[in-house]
Amino acid sequence: MNIKELAKLLEAVSLDNSTGEEEITHAMAIEDGNLGAVSFIGNPHYERYLLTTRSSAVIVSEYLTLPQATDLKLPALIRVKSPYEAFAKTLEIFGEHRSLLPEGVDKSASIHPTARVAKSAKIGPHVTISENVTIGESSEIFPGVYIGPGTSIGKRTAVHPNAVVYDGIEIGSDVVIGAGCIIGFDGFGYVPMGDGTYKKIPQVGKVVIEDNVEIGANTTVDRATVAETRIKRGAKLDNLIQIAHNVEVGENTVIAAQTGISGSTTLGAQNIIAGQVGIVGHIQTAAHVIIGAQSGVSKSLLKSGTYFGSPAKNHREALKLEGVIRSLPELSERVKRLEELIAQHEQLE
Protein backbone atom coordinates (compact mmCIF):
# COMPACT_ATOMS: atom_id res chain seq x y z
CA MET A 1 0.00 0.00 0.00
CA ASN A 2 1.11 3.60 -0.36
CA ILE A 3 1.95 5.92 2.52
CA LYS A 4 -1.28 7.85 2.20
CA GLU A 5 -3.32 4.66 2.64
CA LEU A 6 -1.22 3.59 5.63
CA ALA A 7 -1.54 7.01 7.26
CA LYS A 8 -5.33 6.79 6.91
CA LEU A 9 -5.41 3.33 8.54
CA LEU A 10 -3.30 4.67 11.42
CA GLU A 11 -5.58 7.70 11.85
CA ALA A 12 -2.58 9.99 11.39
CA VAL A 13 -2.76 13.59 12.54
CA SER A 14 -0.64 14.65 9.55
CA LEU A 15 1.67 13.30 6.85
CA ASP A 16 4.90 15.25 6.24
CA ASN A 17 7.67 15.03 3.61
CA SER A 18 5.62 12.79 1.36
CA THR A 19 3.62 12.82 -1.85
CA GLY A 20 1.54 10.05 -0.33
CA GLU A 21 2.21 7.71 -3.25
CA GLU A 22 5.41 6.04 -2.03
CA GLU A 23 4.94 2.29 -1.60
CA ILE A 24 5.26 0.67 1.84
CA THR A 25 5.80 -3.09 1.82
CA HIS A 26 7.13 -4.02 5.26
CA ALA A 27 7.97 -2.83 8.79
CA MET A 28 11.50 -2.60 10.23
CA ALA A 29 13.44 -1.09 13.12
CA ILE A 30 14.47 2.47 12.28
CA GLU A 31 18.21 1.75 12.54
CA ASP A 32 17.90 -1.14 10.04
CA GLY A 33 15.36 0.39 7.67
CA ASN A 34 15.50 0.23 3.89
CA LEU A 35 13.47 1.35 0.88
CA GLY A 36 9.80 0.46 1.28
CA ALA A 37 10.03 0.03 5.06
CA VAL A 38 8.03 1.83 7.71
CA SER A 39 9.62 2.33 11.14
CA PHE A 40 8.67 4.19 14.29
CA ILE A 41 10.08 6.33 17.09
CA GLY A 42 8.55 5.75 20.49
CA ASN A 43 11.56 6.83 22.56
CA PRO A 44 13.56 10.08 22.12
CA HIS A 45 16.76 7.99 22.15
CA TYR A 46 15.96 6.90 18.58
CA GLU A 47 15.30 10.35 17.15
CA ARG A 48 18.94 10.53 16.00
CA TYR A 49 18.21 7.83 13.44
CA LEU A 50 15.90 10.18 11.55
CA LEU A 51 19.01 11.64 9.92
CA THR A 52 20.44 8.28 8.80
CA THR A 53 17.56 5.83 8.33
CA ARG A 54 16.80 4.48 4.88
CA SER A 55 13.19 3.70 5.78
CA SER A 56 10.65 5.27 3.46
CA ALA A 57 8.42 6.34 6.33
CA VAL A 58 8.67 6.76 10.08
CA ILE A 59 5.77 6.87 12.53
CA VAL A 60 6.37 9.64 15.07
CA SER A 61 4.54 11.56 17.75
CA GLU A 62 2.42 14.48 16.58
CA TYR A 63 4.57 16.63 18.88
CA LEU A 64 8.00 15.61 17.51
CA THR A 65 10.21 18.67 16.97
CA LEU A 66 12.58 18.47 14.01
CA PRO A 67 16.10 19.93 13.78
CA GLN A 68 16.19 23.54 12.54
CA ALA A 69 18.43 22.86 9.52
CA THR A 70 16.42 23.07 6.30
CA ASP A 71 18.75 21.01 4.08
CA LEU A 72 18.19 17.73 5.94
CA LYS A 73 16.72 14.89 3.91
CA LEU A 74 14.17 13.19 6.13
CA PRO A 75 11.89 10.24 5.46
CA ALA A 76 8.15 10.66 5.26
CA LEU A 77 6.77 11.34 8.75
CA ILE A 78 3.44 9.85 9.79
CA ARG A 79 2.47 11.90 12.83
CA VAL A 80 0.12 10.11 15.24
CA LYS A 81 -1.18 10.48 18.78
CA SER A 82 0.46 7.23 19.99
CA PRO A 83 3.48 5.91 18.03
CA TYR A 84 3.55 2.60 19.96
CA GLU A 85 -0.11 1.92 19.29
CA ALA A 86 0.22 2.90 15.63
CA PHE A 87 3.27 0.69 15.10
CA ALA A 88 1.54 -2.25 16.76
CA LYS A 89 -1.25 -1.82 14.20
CA THR A 90 1.37 -1.55 11.44
CA LEU A 91 2.89 -4.88 12.48
CA GLU A 92 -0.55 -6.44 12.26
CA ILE A 93 -0.82 -5.11 8.71
CA PHE A 94 2.62 -6.09 7.42
CA GLY A 95 3.92 -8.71 9.83
CA GLU A 96 3.24 -12.43 9.88
CA HIS A 97 1.44 -12.11 13.19
CA ARG A 98 1.31 -15.23 15.34
CA SER A 99 -1.41 -14.96 17.92
CA LEU A 100 -0.85 -16.61 21.29
CA LEU A 101 -4.61 -17.07 21.56
CA PRO A 102 -6.44 -19.78 19.60
CA GLU A 103 -6.90 -18.71 15.98
CA GLY A 104 -9.92 -18.92 13.74
CA VAL A 105 -13.64 -18.98 14.43
CA ASP A 106 -14.00 -22.73 14.81
CA LYS A 107 -16.07 -23.26 17.94
CA SER A 108 -14.75 -26.75 18.51
CA ALA A 109 -12.23 -27.27 21.29
CA SER A 110 -8.72 -28.66 20.95
CA ILE A 111 -6.83 -30.71 23.53
CA HIS A 112 -3.51 -32.18 22.44
CA PRO A 113 -3.19 -35.96 22.97
CA THR A 114 -0.18 -35.49 25.25
CA ALA A 115 -2.03 -33.11 27.57
CA ARG A 116 -3.31 -34.64 30.80
CA VAL A 117 -6.66 -33.27 31.91
CA ALA A 118 -8.32 -34.48 35.09
CA LYS A 119 -11.78 -35.90 34.52
CA SER A 120 -13.34 -33.49 37.00
CA ALA A 121 -11.89 -30.41 35.31
CA LYS A 122 -14.38 -28.12 33.58
CA ILE A 123 -12.81 -26.24 30.70
CA GLY A 124 -15.59 -23.89 29.70
CA PRO A 125 -19.12 -24.71 28.53
CA HIS A 126 -20.59 -26.26 25.43
CA VAL A 127 -18.48 -29.18 24.19
CA THR A 128 -18.04 -32.38 26.20
CA ILE A 129 -14.91 -34.33 25.30
CA SER A 130 -14.96 -37.06 27.93
CA GLU A 131 -16.63 -37.94 31.21
CA ASN A 132 -16.94 -34.77 33.33
CA VAL A 133 -14.51 -32.84 31.12
CA THR A 134 -15.67 -29.97 28.93
CA ILE A 135 -13.83 -27.31 26.99
CA GLY A 136 -15.03 -23.89 25.94
CA GLU A 137 -15.49 -22.57 22.43
CA SER A 138 -12.18 -22.19 20.58
CA SER A 139 -9.97 -22.87 23.60
CA GLU A 140 -6.76 -24.82 23.05
CA ILE A 141 -4.70 -27.01 25.39
CA PHE A 142 -1.18 -27.52 24.00
CA PRO A 143 1.21 -30.50 24.25
CA GLY A 144 2.47 -31.57 27.66
CA VAL A 145 -0.03 -29.51 29.65
CA TYR A 146 -1.40 -30.78 32.96
CA ILE A 147 -4.75 -29.53 34.26
CA GLY A 148 -5.83 -30.64 37.72
CA PRO A 149 -9.24 -31.62 39.03
CA GLY A 150 -11.82 -29.00 39.81
CA THR A 151 -10.21 -26.45 37.52
CA SER A 152 -12.30 -24.31 35.17
CA ILE A 153 -11.07 -22.59 32.02
CA GLY A 154 -13.17 -20.20 29.95
CA LYS A 155 -13.60 -19.66 26.21
CA ARG A 156 -10.90 -18.74 23.68
CA THR A 157 -8.15 -19.42 26.21
CA ALA A 158 -4.79 -20.99 25.36
CA VAL A 159 -2.66 -23.04 27.76
CA HIS A 160 0.74 -23.38 26.08
CA PRO A 161 3.14 -26.36 26.11
CA ASN A 162 4.24 -27.88 29.42
CA ALA A 163 2.25 -25.49 31.59
CA VAL A 164 0.87 -26.90 34.83
CA VAL A 165 -2.49 -25.77 36.17
CA TYR A 166 -3.11 -27.38 39.55
CA ASP A 167 -6.45 -28.33 41.08
CA GLY A 168 -9.25 -25.89 41.83
CA ILE A 169 -7.95 -23.06 39.67
CA GLU A 170 -10.33 -20.59 37.97
CA ILE A 171 -9.19 -19.20 34.62
CA GLY A 172 -11.39 -16.87 32.58
CA SER A 173 -11.87 -16.30 28.85
CA ASP A 174 -9.34 -14.91 26.34
CA VAL A 175 -6.46 -15.80 28.66
CA VAL A 176 -2.92 -16.81 27.62
CA ILE A 177 -0.99 -19.12 29.94
CA GLY A 178 2.58 -19.21 28.59
CA ALA A 179 4.77 -22.25 28.12
CA GLY A 180 6.15 -23.69 31.34
CA CYS A 181 3.90 -21.64 33.64
CA ILE A 182 3.02 -23.08 37.03
CA ILE A 183 -0.38 -21.94 38.26
CA GLY A 184 -1.51 -22.93 41.74
CA PHE A 185 1.51 -24.62 43.31
CA ASP A 186 1.73 -24.12 47.07
CA GLY A 187 2.59 -20.71 48.44
CA PHE A 188 5.80 -20.40 50.47
CA GLY A 189 4.56 -20.69 54.05
CA TYR A 190 6.36 -22.28 57.03
CA VAL A 191 6.34 -21.93 60.82
CA PRO A 192 9.76 -21.96 62.55
CA MET A 193 9.81 -24.63 65.27
CA GLY A 194 11.68 -24.61 68.56
CA ASP A 195 14.14 -27.27 67.37
CA GLY A 196 15.25 -25.16 64.38
CA THR A 197 13.11 -26.99 61.81
CA TYR A 198 10.17 -25.59 59.84
CA LYS A 199 6.60 -26.86 59.76
CA LYS A 200 4.70 -26.37 56.51
CA ILE A 201 1.55 -24.24 56.61
CA PRO A 202 -1.11 -25.96 54.46
CA GLN A 203 -1.98 -23.90 51.40
CA VAL A 204 -5.68 -24.51 50.92
CA GLY A 205 -6.77 -21.45 48.90
CA LYS A 206 -6.97 -21.07 45.13
CA VAL A 207 -5.90 -18.92 42.17
CA VAL A 208 -8.34 -16.84 40.12
CA ILE A 209 -7.25 -15.46 36.76
CA GLU A 210 -9.81 -13.11 35.24
CA ASP A 211 -10.56 -12.46 31.55
CA ASN A 212 -8.05 -11.03 29.04
CA VAL A 213 -5.00 -11.79 31.18
CA GLU A 214 -1.68 -12.81 29.60
CA ILE A 215 0.93 -14.68 31.65
CA GLY A 216 4.39 -15.14 30.11
CA ALA A 217 6.51 -18.26 29.91
CA ASN A 218 7.88 -19.81 33.13
CA THR A 219 5.97 -17.43 35.38
CA THR A 220 4.60 -18.85 38.63
CA VAL A 221 1.41 -17.85 40.41
CA ASP A 222 1.16 -19.44 43.86
CA ARG A 223 -1.95 -20.82 45.49
CA ALA A 224 -3.33 -18.78 48.39
CA THR A 225 -2.87 -19.98 51.94
CA VAL A 226 -6.59 -19.36 52.38
CA ALA A 227 -9.00 -17.36 50.18
CA GLU A 228 -7.39 -16.58 46.80
CA THR A 229 -4.52 -15.24 44.75
CA ARG A 230 -6.14 -13.10 42.04
CA ILE A 231 -4.90 -11.70 38.72
CA LYS A 232 -7.50 -9.16 37.64
CA ARG A 233 -8.93 -8.48 34.21
CA GLY A 234 -6.55 -7.24 31.53
CA ALA A 235 -3.30 -7.69 33.51
CA LYS A 236 -0.19 -8.60 31.48
CA LEU A 237 2.65 -10.54 33.10
CA ASP A 238 6.03 -11.04 31.42
CA ASN A 239 8.16 -14.19 31.52
CA LEU A 240 9.91 -15.31 34.72
CA ILE A 241 7.77 -13.56 37.33
CA GLN A 242 6.97 -14.81 40.83
CA ILE A 243 3.51 -14.03 42.22
CA ALA A 244 3.30 -15.25 45.83
CA HIS A 245 0.30 -16.47 47.78
CA ASN A 246 -2.68 -14.17 48.37
CA VAL A 247 -1.33 -11.47 46.04
CA GLU A 248 -3.82 -9.40 44.07
CA VAL A 249 -2.72 -7.85 40.76
CA GLY A 250 -4.97 -4.97 39.70
CA GLU A 251 -6.81 -4.52 36.42
CA ASN A 252 -4.67 -3.69 33.38
CA THR A 253 -1.46 -3.78 35.41
CA VAL A 254 1.69 -4.76 33.52
CA ILE A 255 4.70 -6.45 35.14
CA ALA A 256 8.10 -7.00 33.46
CA ALA A 257 10.38 -10.01 33.79
CA GLN A 258 12.19 -11.17 36.94
CA THR A 259 9.89 -9.25 39.26
CA GLY A 260 8.97 -10.91 42.55
CA ILE A 261 5.89 -9.97 44.56
CA SER A 262 5.72 -11.26 48.13
CA GLY A 263 2.66 -12.67 49.83
CA SER A 264 -0.55 -10.75 50.56
CA THR A 265 0.47 -7.66 48.58
CA THR A 266 -2.18 -5.80 46.56
CA LEU A 267 -1.23 -3.94 43.39
CA GLY A 268 -3.62 -1.24 42.20
CA ALA A 269 -5.14 -0.89 38.75
CA GLN A 270 -2.96 0.16 35.81
CA ASN A 271 0.35 -0.13 37.62
CA ILE A 272 3.52 -0.45 35.54
CA ILE A 273 6.17 -2.60 37.24
CA ALA A 274 9.54 -2.67 35.45
CA GLY A 275 12.03 -5.54 35.38
CA GLN A 276 13.71 -7.05 38.46
CA VAL A 277 11.51 -5.19 40.94
CA GLY A 278 11.17 -6.73 44.39
CA ILE A 279 8.07 -6.01 46.45
CA VAL A 280 7.73 -7.02 50.10
CA GLY A 281 4.62 -8.66 51.49
CA HIS A 282 1.51 -7.20 53.11
CA ILE A 283 1.65 -3.80 51.40
CA GLN A 284 -0.39 -2.13 48.67
CA THR A 285 0.01 0.29 45.79
CA ALA A 286 -2.42 2.89 44.53
CA ALA A 287 -3.76 2.96 40.98
CA HIS A 288 -1.45 4.39 38.28
CA VAL A 289 1.81 3.67 40.08
CA ILE A 290 5.01 3.22 38.04
CA ILE A 291 7.98 1.43 39.64
CA GLY A 292 11.38 1.68 37.93
CA ALA A 293 13.63 -1.28 37.13
CA GLN A 294 15.54 -3.00 39.98
CA SER A 295 13.63 -1.07 42.62
CA GLY A 296 12.93 -2.53 46.05
CA VAL A 297 9.51 -1.63 47.44
CA SER A 298 9.53 -1.87 51.24
CA LYS A 299 6.33 -0.01 52.13
CA SER A 300 2.94 0.86 50.65
CA LEU A 301 2.85 3.39 47.80
CA LEU A 302 -0.48 5.09 48.39
CA LYS A 303 -0.17 7.94 45.88
CA SER A 304 -0.16 7.61 42.10
CA GLY A 305 3.21 8.49 40.58
CA THR A 306 6.63 7.19 39.58
CA TYR A 307 8.93 5.52 42.10
CA PHE A 308 12.50 4.27 41.86
CA GLY A 309 15.36 2.99 44.00
CA SER A 310 15.86 0.65 46.92
CA PRO A 311 14.02 1.40 49.04
CA ALA A 312 11.72 2.85 46.38
CA LYS A 313 10.96 6.56 46.70
CA ASN A 314 9.56 9.36 44.58
CA HIS A 315 11.40 9.28 41.26
CA ARG A 316 12.65 12.87 41.39
CA GLU A 317 13.86 12.46 44.96
CA ALA A 318 15.59 9.19 43.99
CA LEU A 319 17.43 10.89 41.12
CA LYS A 320 18.64 13.69 43.41
CA LEU A 321 19.91 11.10 45.89
CA GLU A 322 21.62 9.18 43.08
CA GLY A 323 23.39 12.38 42.04
CA VAL A 324 24.65 12.92 45.60
CA ILE A 325 25.89 9.32 45.85
CA ARG A 326 27.84 9.65 42.59
CA SER A 327 29.58 12.77 43.91
CA LEU A 328 30.62 11.10 47.19
CA PRO A 329 34.16 10.14 46.05
CA GLU A 330 34.91 13.76 45.11
CA LEU A 331 33.35 15.02 48.35
CA SER A 332 35.44 12.52 50.30
CA GLU A 333 38.64 13.83 48.73
CA ARG A 334 37.63 17.42 49.50
CA VAL A 335 37.00 16.50 53.16
CA LYS A 336 40.44 14.86 53.36
CA ARG A 337 42.10 18.00 51.96
CA LEU A 338 40.19 20.20 54.40
CA GLU A 339 41.22 17.98 57.31
CA GLU A 340 44.87 18.23 56.20
CA LEU A 341 44.62 22.05 55.98
CA ILE A 342 43.04 22.22 59.44
CA ALA A 343 45.78 19.97 60.85
CA GLN A 344 48.49 22.17 59.28
CA HIS A 345 46.85 25.30 60.67
CA GLU A 346 46.70 23.80 64.17
CA GLN A 347 50.42 22.92 64.00
CA LEU A 348 51.25 26.56 63.18
CA GLU A 349 49.39 27.88 66.20
Query: Smallest Cα–Cα separation from 101: which of 150, 146, 137?
Result: 137
Residues 218 and 236: beta-carbon distance below 8 Å: no
Q: Give residue 154's identity as a one-letter amino acid code.
A: G
Strands 133-135 and 140-141: unpaired
CA distances from 142 to 49, 110, 158 (A): 42, 8, 8
CA dihedral (135, 139, 145, 147) in degrees, to 10, reads -40
Other C-beta atoms closer than 10 Å to the C-beta of 122 total 17
Query: Residue 158's beta-bridge partner residues?
Result: 140, 176
The helix or strand, by DSSP H or E, that contains position 321, with its residue range, turns out to be: helix 315-326
CA dist 109 and 122 (Å) reads 13
Which residues lie closer than 8 Å to 265 by C-beta, 6 or more apart?
244, 247, 248, 279, 280, 281, 282, 283, 284
Distance between the two ends of the chain, CA-based, in angstroms?
A: 87
Query: Which residues are the active-site residues?
Result: 245
Query: Residue 163's beta-bridge partner residues?
Result: none
Q: What angle do CA 92, 30, 81 make, to 5 degrees?
A: 60
